[in-house]
Structure 1
Amino acid sequence: MIHQPKLAQWQGAFKDSLLDVGVSPYNGFTYDHIHGTKVGGTLFDRFGRRHTAAELLASANPKMLTVLVYATVQKVLFDQTGRRSTAMGVIFKDENGNQHQAFLTNNRRSEVILSCGAIGTPQMLMLSGIGPKAELDKLNISMVLRNEFVGKGMADNPMNSVFVPTNRPVEQSLIQTVGITKTGVYIESSSGFGQSQDSIRCHHGILSAEIGQLSTIPPKQRTPEAIQAFIKRKRDLPHEAFKGGFILEKIARPISTGHLNLVNTNIDDNPSVTFNYFHHPHDLQRCVDGIRMAAKVIQSKHFTNFTRCDKPTVEKLLNMSVKANINLIPKHTNDTKSLEQFCKDTVITIWHYHGGCHVGKVVDPDLKVLGTNRLRIVDGSTFNESPGTNPQGTVLMMGRYMGVKILRRRLGKAAHV
């Protein structure tokens, strides 16, 4: 359940600043993604309790669902004796590393549904023998079905942040207010992350950069010593860079896309993913426009009155922002002179990964994998675009829609019989 948030003071100043620089009209509290400035929903109710998607299970029938908690699927199994390859089950590994096989029943309506996400699903398809010929051949994977589009068109909504200096204590606030421009740039803000050294973890952008940095260490090499070295690098960052808050700008519906490639045949190892952030000049220009808008917001009288800071120059803001950014991209000397270079060097993810199994290329309109029987994909890998705000609600609605659609078709067939 989504609730209306109690607007923090920081968010109120941010809202007034957005309207002051022309991100209008003010649309109030709404779930709609419409041009202007609005207040979005929160998972926290008025008592401070957080409500999650797990609550949806309260409406489910537990007798109809079996969950193997520590099981990880290794590949999909196919019967290739017919004209079309037919999914017949999966191989999975339990918590002790032992492999098992699970097979579909003889009921033709039963099927394998992949929901491994935009990165996991194309990886799973390729490891199961469905994908580009060159990709499968290089790892000696037996081909079940050739499809050159698996793993193609990978996209992510790029995000950049601009640091907001403050001379007063500010309360911690996650994103509540958002400005949506007509060019598809989302302007958001978070605050209160400089009260302690460890509070940096709470910031969207910094947290995503930390996770991205840690993920570059292969799982088997994540020893206690390696993790401590990682934490030390974080603590060596200039502490003054985190006193205040951040203005975030994100690009909705990016045109730039990339690809996913297998590194090996181990499902537990991450594949190689290239998103090609800002490869298309239109995406880069929108980022530049977003950074300029963020700077105007910080320089507006509403924000300077609230932060009790003199109106900072754009170069000062960018200098502090480069220091605060901890991604692994090498920085350039002209980061504060070229907004284009600033965008490229300070880009971070906000986990809006999508693509890799697009409708019409990998799956049909019912999300069934083309060229196969009894195999369907229900996740963000089928999306051509992802919303500028959190895609969780979109994915949940997708699951609900497909679940109802599948059940209705099954009931319709049963009634007809």
Structure 2
Amino acid sequence: MGMFIDLKALVVVFLLSIQTVVSDIDPPRTRLRSTAFGIPGQDAVYDYVVIGGGTAGISLAVRLAQNASSTVAIIEAGAFYEVDNGNYSVLPGLYAASPFYATTEDFPRQPLVDWSLVTTAQTGALNRKIHYAQGKTLSGSSALNAMAYHRGTAGSYAQWAKMVGDDSYSFPSLLPYFRKSCRFSPPDDAKRQTPNATVEFDPSAFDAAGGPLEVSYSNWVDPALTWFERALVAIGLPINAKGFNSGSLNGTSWIPSTINPSTGKRSSSKSSFLQQSIEVDNIFVYTQAQATKILFNSTTATGVDVSTRGVSYTVTARKEVILSAGVFHSPQLLMVSGIGPRSKLEEYSIPVLSDLPGVGQNLQDQPIFSLSQGINIPVQAKSLQAPEALDQFLRNASGPFSSLNGLIAFEKLPPRLRDNISHAALNALRRLPIDEPEVEYLASTTVAPDGSGIGLLSAALSAPLSRGSVTISSCDIAVPPVIDLGWYTDVAGADAQLAVAAFKRLREAMAAIPELTIGPELSPGPSVEDDGEILTYIRNTTIPLYHAGGTCAMGRRNDTRAVVNAQARVYGVENLRVVDMSAVPFVPSGHPQSTTYMLAEKIAENILRGSP
């Protein structure tokens, strides 16, 4: 989901003053809104039951509801982020001010929108336990993420197609589904008012008609990011002339975000897909509804047990149950329902319906770490406190409240930085697709306690070789899943060695813009010099980029890691699919939001066509 910053108490004034701007004008109604919501405590029957009203769940449910003869229910454990998290979720510029994004074990809790998940002690991160924010709300993590929108490489999707034995997962075949979900808006240079932040993009990567999800370039640019663009270009990461939505990830680019350019607000699966379809009389939404167990008749999924504040009821599916509970909760719900590794299920006296050892395995997560440096120009966090910021947003949806970051870069590390990487690690890295980048660079800013600006350059491993896992410690869904992110634990040691080399690239980039910087490096500081010291710093400061996936991996039937087939059907049972980032066989490089929407579009079409 990206980096986070701390804003001071002054921001609260703006939070309170703009609460009134987050409500939407009601469209003309053809259905009473109240009839779009299921009633807790009452058993009900629908054609399709979608467990999880997140990024994939809502978009897939809405597409299924386009078949007017079918009814669709969405079962969501949370409620409305606009109410429960307010402007922290609605306004892009306040995203990073949300206190609960803290990754420490004692993070400030926000139980209305976050699952409050904490990992086990991470051996690759000096045994730190990590809070991993995950959306518990309509829209799921599309209500909490940093809104970055771009696609993976053509080579990564070709590898996906090869792994699952289905050419429809190649990039040319997937492009129509990427296009279908979103409505693209070119940059509004009059609002951006930053001529040295020129955007390059490929118009053919988007459909002129498009879908409900808004994809646009921010209506404001943090001035420091233009300097970081110069720095990245200076160290050999040129501007990508087509941007990052045409199947190539190399060089530097200003990327679009899921922001509505007309309102300056976040565009989520709820505010886009669900908002435009709530009047359709065959879609029904259950909020504050915790799915506790998938129900079966023999090995055929028939529905789900649900609990709302201690009241239990059953939602039955005539046709299919579709699990979209996310990378951590989808495997958990499968296991407590009898699908997963036999030994683990028997440990908790769970009857085994399908012995699938891959459930909860293959967890891939992109770790990110940063260096910080004092800079001599105003930064976004400071700009939010300026009197004109609120006026800009209210007047024409521009200014710092309407914007979040927007500059990233990708590369395979250059040869000169590979000299210190072991032969074993290099051999392991050669298994990546030739166009798959190894490292992503992100630029952002924050503000020091004294009000001065701080520049952050960050590096993330975009295709980590390490794998973690998700498992259970109880047959009760209310007991949180056991999460091991597995950072820096690959056998060849490639991830740790890449991280050290990438950190050196961060220092090269910061050194390329001496006109911007003030004083010595703030963190980790110039005293951290040799590879061992750098790696210790990385292990101690790595946080999630919130790009986990692969825990219910798609694959061929003879692959012991595989949980679902190419149509997302769960092996060993009938009428059950998994459609979210847990179903990907690996996480394509960069930010996975676009891939999540694409997968939902693809599987929804598969279902509507009645494909096997």
TM-score class, shorter-chain normalisation, is 0.7 to 0.9
Could you tell me how far 1:336 is from its partner in structure 2?
8.4
The equivalent residue for 2:280 is 62
* Cα distance in 1 between the residues matched to 2:242 and 2:356: 46
Q: 2:336 and 2:452 mapped to 1: Cα distance?
A: 43
Whether the 8 Å CA contact 2:221–2:405 is kept in 1: the answer is no
Whether 2:295 is the aligned partner of 1:77: answer yes
Alpha carbons of structure 1 residues 104 and 30: separation in structure 2 relative to 1, 3 Å: closer
Counterparts of 1:6-405 in structure 2, within 5 Å, are: 6-27=220-241, 29-32=243-246, 33-44=248-259, 45=261, 48-53=264-269, 54-60=271-277, 62-80=280-298, 85-95=299-309, 97-105=310-318, 110-172=319-381, 174-182=404-412, 183-194=437-448, 239=449, 243-280=453-490, 281-300=493-512, 302=513, 304-307=514-517, 309-310=518-519, 312=520, 317-319=523-525, 338-360=533-555, 361-405=562-606
TM superposition shift of 1:4: 2.1
Q: CA deviation at 1:7?
A: 3.3
Structure 1 residues 241 and 342, CA gap change in structure 2 (3 angstroms): farther
Corresponding position of 1:206: none
Instruction: Describe the superposition over 1:372-393 as per-residue Cα deviations: whole angstroms up to 9, x where unpaired.
Output: 1111110111112224433222
C-alpha contact (below 8 Å) 2:354/2:571 kept by paired residues? no
SS in 2 for 1:278: coil
Mapped to 2, the partners of 1:336 and 1:350 lie a distance apart of 23
Change (3 A) 1:287 1:29: same
Distance 1:265 1:25 in 2: 51
- TM-score (norm. length: structure 1): 0.75
Contact 1:130 1:144 in 2 (8 A): yes
Instruction: Compute the displacement of 1:163 (Å).
Output: 1.2
What's the CA shift for 1:79?
Answer: 1.4
Return closer, same or farther for 1:402/1:244 CA change in 2, 3 Å cut-off: same
For 1:376 and 1:347, locate their aligned partners in 2 and report how far apart those are by CA, in whole Å.
34
Partner AA of 2:284 in structure 1: T
Tell me the distance in 2 between the aligned counterparts of 1:334 and 1:18: 22
What do residues 286-330 of structure 1 show as CA deviations (whole Å, max 9, x unaligned)?
211221111111111x2x2123x24x36xx64249x9xxxxxxxx
- The whole-number CA distance in structure 2 between the counterparts of 1:382 and 1:298 is 38
- The 2-side partners of 1:47 and 1:291 are apart by 38
- 1:351 CA displacement: 1.1
Q: What is the Cα deviation at residue 27 of structure 1?
A: 3.1
Unaligned runs of 5+ in 1: 195-238, 323-332
C-alpha distance in structure 1 between counterparts of 2:302 and 2:602, whole Å: 24
**CA apart distance, 1:112:** 0.5
Specify whether residues 401 and 174 from structure 1 end up closer, same or farther in structure 2 by C-alpha distance, changes over 3 A only. same
Q: Deviations over 1:250-299 (max 9, x none)?
A: 11121100111212222122211112101121111221122111111111
CA contact (8 A) 1:77 1:90 kept: yes
Rounded to whole Å, the distance in 2 between the matches of 1:4 and 1:28 is: 15
Distance 1:388 1:245 in 2: 24
Residues 50 and 119 of structure 1, relative CA distance in 2, 3 Å threshold: closer
- Verify the 8 A CA contact 2:446 2:456 in the aligned structure 1: no
Partner of 1:219: none
Return closer, same or farther for 1:43/1:25 CA change in 2, 3 Å cut-off: closer
Task: Please tell me whether the aligned partners of residues 255 and 406 of structure 2 are also in contact (alpha carbons under 8 angstroms).
Answer: yes
Q: Bigger shift: 11-20 or 345-354?
A: 345-354
What amino acid sits opposite 1:188 in the alignment?
A: L
Distance 2:584 2:458 in 1: 24
After TM superposition, give the deviation of residue 341 of structure 1 in Å: 2.1
Offset of residue 248 of structure 1? 1.4
- Equivalent pair of 2:579/2:600 in contact (CA under 8 Å): yes
After TM superposition, the score normalised by the length of structure 2 is 0.52
CA distance in 2 between counterparts of 1:17 and 1:180 reads 14
**What amino acid is the match of 2:568?**
L
Query: Compared with structure 1, are the counterparts of its residues 154 and 68 closer, same or farther at alpha carbon in structure 2 (3 Å cutoff)?
Result: same
Aligned residues: 341
AA in 1 matched with 2:540: D
Residues in 2 aligned to 1:408 and 1:28: alpha-carbon distance in whole angstroms: 34
State the shift of 1:344 in Å: 1.8
RMSD value, Cα: 2.6
1:2, 1:20 → 2: CA distance? 29
CA distance in 1, matches of 2:523, 2:288: 46
Q: What one-letter code is carried by the residue in structure 1 that aligns with 2:291?
A: V
Letter in 1 for 2:476: N
State the Cα deviation string for residues 207-258 of structure 1 (Å, max 9, x = none): xxxxxxxxxxxxxxxxxxxxxxxxxxxxxxxx57995131111111211001
Percent identity of paired positions between Structure 1 and Structure 2? 24
Indicate conservation of the 8 Å contact 2:222/2:405, yes or no: no
Q: Partners in 1 of 2:275 and 2:289 — Cα distance?
A: 23
Per-residue CA deviations over 1:393-417 (Å, capped at 9, x if unaligned) read 211121111112211227xx9xxxx
Contact 2:342 2:352 (C-alpha < 8 Å) held by counterparts: yes
Residues 334, 126 of structure 1: CA spacing in aligned structure 2 closer, same or farther, 3 A cutoff?
farther
Question: 1:174, 1:191 within 8 Å by CA — same for their partners in 2?
Answer: no
Quote the Cα distance in structure 2 between the aligned partners of 1:99 and 1:393. 35
Q: 1:87 Cα shift?
A: 0.8
Q: 1:27 to 1:193 in 2, by over 3 A?
A: farther
Q: Aligned with 1:87: secondary structure?
A: strand
Aligned-pair CA distance for 1:12? 0.4
